[in-house]
Structure 1
Amino acid sequence: MSSLEPSHRDTRMDPYIDQYADRTGSMTVSAVRALFSVANRPEVVSLAGGMPNITDLPLGRLGDSFDKLVQTKGVQAMQYGSGQGEPFMREKVVDVMAEEQIRANSDDVVITCGSQQALDLVTRIFINPGDVVLCEAPSYVGALGTFNAYQAEIHHVAMDEHGLVPSAVKEAVTTLRAAGKRVKFLYTIPNFNNPTGIQQPLERRRELLAVAHELDLLVVEDNPYGLLTIEGEPLPALRSMDPDVIYLGSFSKTFAPGFRIGWVLAPHAVRERLVIAQEAAVLSPPVFSQFAITDYLDNFDWRGQIVAFRDMYRARRDAMLQGLSDHMPAAATWTRPTGGFFVWLTLPEGLDSQALLARAVSERVAYVPGNAFYADGFGSRNMRLSYCFPTPERIYEGTRRLGKVIRDELEMRATFGLPATEVPHTQVGGPAPDLS
């Protein structure tokens, strides 16, 4: 044997396992991303992903506009930029936030690579291993992944049909602090929560902020869907009522996700640390994307485009609700969202959404099992259904296929006398809507 050859062969699947940082042990593959390879097959009706439908954008005119941008400002647009984001982009963000009654100074805005990076930066500067983050039950899977990556302890707080329950927030903070835990912040999606689609009414927002003020509890408001209301006008953001709220925004849902531009609006001292963290991560957010989005906001009817998106998503939401009403068994319930992208369905007792997924895919329909939106194993009787991307006809067909899967499972269990499986779950949003 040559002296240059190793004396033994490492047969582990990952030979670097002993070299990773401890925090990588809590990193997991996103349940949504894991479904992409299946859900993107053309024969499958995907009710899984939360991809916005951007086909209604004026793509031809946008192409001409961006071509002109490269020719006239290409040298600046394709160069490095400010770690905080370009001043003109931050000013436009202030204009967009004013649609939800937020008054802000552009100096307190930090542009990020989508709101997902905004959430990562906020978590990075606040969370030490073992610190507690409060989240809705259920909560956005991408947020849970971020909190896990920084070794936070995630504590879910109860929701009802109006969103987070303020008394439950108070009880959780009081109990955790009495146990010696450090509760760093409350993370909430007040507008059309991902995954339930529930919106916090105005009075509930006031109650929640009053509890946070009483407890000296930092609130992080994630608001990608606020302008995409399909019934009524947008509600005032939490940040519009309290300048201490850290606000996360994005152009991914109201324009296009491919540009990867989001932002954080934070108190001045927090902003300084966010900029330092941002520069360490990416030096500067995408400069060309900032030029492109600013060009769009300056030269296109972006408010009118949002109205068009609302109409489109309303038709898709209605198709899903009608399909669920027509095809689900009587014991199933679901939320009735007034905006956003998602419906939260609760299966009849004894069924497990994770166990049903393989059968659903074989019937050419996909969804996200509910346990992906919990850090504590709950949600097994739930599933998130997305209506944002398929056509109304495809959505309705998807609910028919899904209903068949659920009814077949119920029939099989009845035939063989199988007992109900006790699985942890949550039912949010009340009974199924009456669409007759």
Structure 2
Amino acid sequence: MTITADTADRAPVLPRAALHPSLSQPLLDTMNFLNEVTLRYPQAISFAPGRPYEAGFDVADVPALIETYLDHLRERGLSEERVRTALYQYGETAGQIRDLVADMLRVDEDMAVDPGSVVVTVGCQEAVLLTLRALFTGPDDVLLVDSPCYVGVTGAAGLLGIDVVPVPGTAHGPSLDGLDRVVRELTEQGRRAKALYVVPDCSNPTGVSMSVEDRTALLARARRLGLLLLEDNPYGVFSTVRRPTLKALDTGRSVIYLGSFAKTAFPGARVGFVVADQPVESADSGAPGLLADELAKVKSMVTVNTSSLSQAAVAGLLLRAGGGLRAANEPVARHYQATMRALRDTLARELPPGETESAGVRWNDPDGGFFLTLDVPFPADEAALRRSAQTYGVIWTPMRYFHLDGAGDHRIRLSCSGVTVDQAVDGAVRLARFVKDRAKEDGRA
């Protein structure tokens, strides 16, 4: 039988109820909407994407990076046949560069990590997915998030049917009083808070960083409450203040560390990792294993293994940089600091505090990373974003996308990572003009 366009048009339509409920959540349309806006207005200056600055990328580097890793394998005594296998074949599910990842964490973060506790993943997003799948066992298990929260985490939890409850965020990280209250309320409901997701350094979306004292206090509170902490650290190397990670401070193995090479190397490699050194009871009464082993089991049924080519490219970069990436990222870190400074300084000039036209407008002052947030005196919704892009030539991200509690309607996220200093200045001027014009329409200026 030949299938024609006409017969195809009469094919049964899948009812929405036949699909997983998470696919109907507006959250899953967020990235598509932002991509659509960005592509529709290519001449606009975009403060929307949290992507690394790519002027330093060189296509010619990739083959050289792979060759650096292959030479490393040869120096370790591998035959040409084994080198070929390492590059062309399926590799270990948990990853073939775990030792190099552990070395990087030692060099960059002063973290003592056993390579056996590392699982190399397809981006940090897979690390999140594997961790959530392994930890959350039933409908009464709840994931806590520092609110506002990165949409990749709440979206992954939704796909897995895991309930997410926000913990109020502050200018210094999650509120400990709020954490106590949320855990107590969940316990009274017969539910169990199993883990808290947090980004202690230059967080997405707010840019907030936690002090060492706040990190120590959070660790102590998590231990008292019986919570695991899921620490995500994609931006730490870009901070102007170096602080120990939660994992480096952790003495009770209560922190699962999520990492990514998307920002420190290049996102096209799609390589991330998770450090999961928590002991897990053996299924056969033998010696305890590690949570990393359980995550590898999940990975074997999701992506089988992480691309050997991608791992080789990242490994070559690590080897070329002497084991760590913090020093290698200093030039681009200075670029991010310069673009963020240009953005803030221009906003201060165009929207001076105390002026009538600046009423209700304020922004925070992160010590690094990609993001800062701006409060505005009008709804920062999709309609406002389209107008800003079309009429004023500047794109941003509504903060409402990052909230689970209906907040954030009058806040926007600005990313300084993908622009030049001149673009940051020009974009801030355009944004200030939009903010002032929009506020005037509401009679606020």
Q: Structure 2-normalised TM-score?
A: 0.85
Which deviates more from structure 2 when the two are superposed, residues 48-57 or residues 114-123? Answer: 48-57
Question: Does residue 357 of structure 1 match 2:385?
Answer: yes
Which deviates more from structure 2 when the two are superposed, residues 252-261 or residues 98-107? Answer: 98-107
Name the residue aligned to 2:77.
Answer: none
Name the residue aligned to 1:276.
Answer: 297
Query: Residues 70 and 91 (structure 1 numbering): CA distance in 2 closer, same or farther, change over 3 Å?
Result: closer
Amino acid at match of 1:138: P
Question: Does residue 240 of structure 1 match 2:248?
Answer: yes
Identity of matched residues, %: 29
- SS of residue in 1 equivalent to 2:438: helix
Name the residue aligned to 1:335.
Answer: 364
Which deviates more from structure 2 when the two are superposed, residues 107-116 or residues 234-243? Answer: 234-243
Q: 1:147, 1:154 within 8 Å by CA — same for their partners in 2?
A: yes
* Mapping for residues 377-388 of structure 1, pairs under 5 Å: 377-388=406-417
Question: Does residue 208 of structure 1 match 2:218?
Answer: yes
Query: Residues 244 and 334 (structure 1 numbering): CA distance in 2 closer, same or farther, change over 3 Å?
Result: same
Aligned with 1:94 (options 99, 102, 106) = 102
CA distance in 1, matches of 2:426, 2:321: 35
Aligned residues between the structures? 405
Query: Residues 291 and 63 (structure 1 numbering): CA distance in 2 closer, same or farther, change over 3 Å?
Result: closer
Which deviates more from structure 2 when the two are superposed, residues 354-363 or residues 186-195? Answer: 354-363
Which deviates more from structure 2 when the two are superposed, residues 220-229 or residues 129-138? Answer: 129-138
Q: 2:201, 2:210 within 8 Å by CA — same for their partners in 1?
A: yes
CA distance in 2, matches of 1:43, 1:397: 12
Amino acid at match of 2:259: G
Q: 1:47, 1:386 within 8 Å by CA — same for their partners in 2?
A: yes
Aligned with 1:305 (options 325, 328, 348) = 328
Amino acid at match of 2:217: E
Which deviates more from structure 2 when the two are superposed, residues 350-359 or residues 151-160? Answer: 350-359
- SS of residue in 2 equivalent to 1:184: strand
Name the residue aligned to 1:54.
Answer: 54
Which deviates more from structure 2 when the two are superposed, residues 371-380 or residues 59-68? Answer: 59-68
Name the residue aligned to 2:129.
Answer: 120
Query: Residues 69 and 168 (structure 1 numbering): CA distance in 2 closer, same or farther, change over 3 Å?
Result: closer
Name the residue aligned to 1:183.
Answer: 193
Name the residue aligned to 2:35.
Answer: 36
How far has the Cα of 1:10 moved from its partner? Answer: 6.3
Name the residue aligned to 1:110.
Answer: 119
How far has the Cα of 1:30 moved from its partner? Answer: 4.3
CA distance in 2, matches of 1:91, 1:403: 48
Question: Does residue 289 of structure 1 match 2:310?
Answer: yes
Question: Does residue 146 of structure 1 match 2:156?
Answer: yes
How far has the Cα of 1:65 moved from its partner? Answer: 4.0
CA distance in 1, matches of 2:58, 2:383: 42
Name the residue aligned to 1:82.
Answer: 92
Name the residue aligned to 2:18.
Answer: 19
Amino acid at match of 1:118: A
Residues 317-358 of structure 1, C-alpha deviations (whole Å, 9 max, x = no match): 11111122122324211111111100111112x443444112
CA distance in 2, matches of 1:353, 1:91: 46
- SS of residue in 2 equivalent to 1:29: helix
Query: Residues 15 and 412 (structure 1 numbering): CA distance in 2 closer, same or farther, change over 3 Å?
Result: same
CA distance in 2, matches of 1:21, 1:411: 44
Amino acid at match of 1:265: V
How far has the Cα of 1:262 moved from its partner? Answer: 0.5
How far has the Cα of 1:38 moved from its partner? Answer: 2.6
Query: Residues 68 and 272 (structure 1 numbering): CA distance in 2 closer, same or farther, change over 3 Å?
Result: closer
Unaligned runs of 5+ in 2: 1-5, 72-79, 281-290, 352-357
- SS of residue in 1 equivalent to 2:273: strand
- SS of residue in 2 equivalent to 1:385: strand
Amino acid at match of 1:381: H
Aligned with 1:158 (options 158, 168, 188) = 168
Q: Structure 1-normalised TM-score?
A: 0.86
CA distance in 2, matches of 1:30, 1:393: 31
CA distance in 1, matches of 2:429, 2:297: 51
How far has the Cα of 1:59 moved from its partner? Answer: 4.7
Query: Residues 404 and 289 (structure 1 numbering): CA distance in 2 closer, same or farther, change over 3 Å?
Result: same
Displacement over 3 Å in runs of 4+:
9-12, 16-19, 21-28, 57-75, 300-304, 350-355
Which deviates more from structure 2 when the two are superposed, residues 45-54 or residues 32-41? Answer: 32-41
Aligned with 2:420 (options 369, 374, 391) = 391
Name the residue aligned to 1:3.
Answer: none
CA distance in 1, matches of 2:432, 2:364: 16
Amino acid at match of 2:343: M
Amino acid at match of 1:376: D
How far has the Cα of 1:265 moved from its partner? Answer: 0.5
Name the residue aligned to 1:421.
Answer: none
Q: 2:265, 2:317 within 8 Å by CA — same for their partners in 1?
A: no
CA distance in 2, matches of 1:18, 1:331: 43
Query: Residues 249 and 69 (structure 1 numbering): CA distance in 2 closer, same or farther, change over 3 Å?
Result: closer
CA distance in 2, matches of 1:129, 1:48: 35
Q: 2:69, 2:319 within 8 Å by CA — same for their partners in 1?
A: no
Which deviates more from structure 2 when the two are superposed, residues 149-158 or residues 67-76? Answer: 67-76
CA distance in 1, matches of 2:261, 2:174: 25
CA distance in 2, matches of 1:188, 1:51: 20
Amino acid at match of 1:43: Q
How far has the Cα of 1:278 moved from its partner? Answer: 0.3
Q: 2:65, 2:312 within 8 Å by CA — same for their partners in 1?
A: no
Question: Does residue 374 of structure 1 match 2:403?
Answer: yes
CA distance in 1, matches of 2:192, 2:26: 22
CA distance in 2, matches of 1:76, 1:103: 26
Residues 68-102 of structure 1, C-alpha deviations (whole Å, 9 max, x = no match): 7689745421210111111xx11111122222222
Amino acid at match of 2:92: S
How far has the Cα of 1:310 moved from its partner? Answer: 1.2
Q: 1:132, 1:183 within 8 Å by CA — same for their partners in 2?
A: yes
Residues 135-167 of structure 1, C-alpha deviations (whole Å, 9 max, x = no match): 112110111111121222221112221111212
How far has the Cα of 1:26 moved from its partner? Answer: 4.3
CA distance in 2, matches of 1:92, 1:64: 18
Question: Does residue 325 of structure 1 match 2:348?
Answer: yes
How far has the Cα of 1:131 moved from its partner? Answer: 2.8
